[in-house]
Amino acid sequence: MFPSTAIPVPPDLAARYTRTPAGRAWLASLPAIAGDLMALWRLVPDLAPGALPWNGHGAMVVPVLQEDGLPAALKIAFPHEEARVERHALDLWAGRGAVALLASDAGRCSMLLERLDGTRSLVTAPMDEAAAVWGGLVRQLSLVPDDRPQWREFDHIAARAEQWSDDLPADWDQLGRPFPRWLLEAALEVCQTRGAVGRRSARDVLVHTDLHYLNILAAPATGATAERPTPDGYAAIDPQPMIGEPEFAVAPLLWNRLQDLPLNQPESGLRRRCADFSTAAGLDPEVARQWALAREVANALWYAGNPGHRGDLARSLWVASTLAGRTLEGLPPAHALPEPGRTYSDAG
C-alpha cells in the first residue's frame, strides 16, 4: 500500500475548506480517511508522480487500482446532505446511466466508484450531440419509486417548491429587494403551480438535479469514442438526487455554456436550448422552462446574500428573466457573463 501522505490535497479544495473550523477538521482528516479506505478496499493510488487527485466543489477523487488491477475512483466528500444521499441514488441506478457504485462508507462520506474519463465530458460537445446524450441518460435515470428503502432518503421537488414559496419573498425583502418584484412573482407562481401539481402527479421519478455538461463523463472503451457520441458511452456523476418532475433537471444546462448561445439572439437561443434538451429527453419544454426560472431566482437570492458572487448573480438574473420573457435591463450581455465558479475576469 502507498502511505496516505502520498496523496496530496488539491490546493483549490484546501483553500475552500480552510475558511471554517469544520472544513479545516475535514482537511486534516483526509490523509487518515484515505489511508484507512485504501487498506479496507485493498487499493493503491494510480497517480502519476507529481499529479494531484481530481476534485469538485466538495470532494476529493483519487484514481486508484483495485486488488485485481482494475481502475476505480475513490471519492471522499465533505460531509453534507447531498453527499450523504448520493450513494442511495447510485445504488438504485446500478450503473445504468450513472457511474457505477462499487462500495461505500457512509460514516466517512466516501465511495469507491467506477472510473470514468474525466478529460471527456459534454462541455465541448456540439449542442445537438450533447442533447442526444443528455436526453438518453435522463430516460435511463428517471426511475419510478418503488418499495426499496433508498427511496425514503430523498427530498421531494414539490416540497422544495413549497419551501421556496415561503423563503423566496422573505429573502428578497431581507436582501434589500435585489431585483424587480415581477421576477420574484414569476418564480412564486411556478412554485405554487408546480408544487401543487407535483403533489398530485403520478409522474414522480428519481431526478439528477445537477445534470450539467461537466457532470456527464465518457466511459472508457465504449461508444463515447464513436464519431457521434451515444448515451451508452457516457455516465452521470454527482447527482444531487431528488424525487419529482423530471423537468426539474433541465435548468443546469441553461446556466452553463452561455458563451455557446447565438451572438445575435442569445435570448431566443436560450429558450430554444430549453426546448431542444427537453424534447431529447421526452420532457415538457414549458414545464422545464418554469422550473428553470424558479431555480435561477432561488440561485440569484443565494448569490445576492453571499459576497463575491456578483458575476453569478448577474448570470442567474439574465437566465431567469430571459426565461420569463423580459430580460432585465442593465445586465452584461450573455456572452460576457461568467460560467459558474468563474469570475468576470476569468470569462471570455
Which residue out of 117, 210, 260, 284 is catalytically annotated? 210
Beta bridge partners, 76, equal 60, 110
Cell 488491477 appears where? 69
- Helix (H) or strand (E) segment spanning residue 80: none
Residues with Cβ within 8 Å of 76's Cβ and at least 6 positions away in sequence, in order, are: 30, 33, 34, 37, 59, 60, 61, 62, 108, 109, 110
Known catalytic membership, residue 128: no
Q: What dihedral do alpha carbons 118, 233, 154, 214 form, nearest 10°?
A: 40
What residues contact residue 200 under an 8 Å CB cut-off, 6+ apart?
none
Longest Cα pair distance anywhere in the chain, in angstroms?
A: 60
Contact 270, 263 (CB under 8 A): no
Cα(163)–Cα(173) distance, rounded to whole angstroms? 16
CA contacts within 13 A on the Cβ side of 299 = 25
The catalytic site residues sit at 210
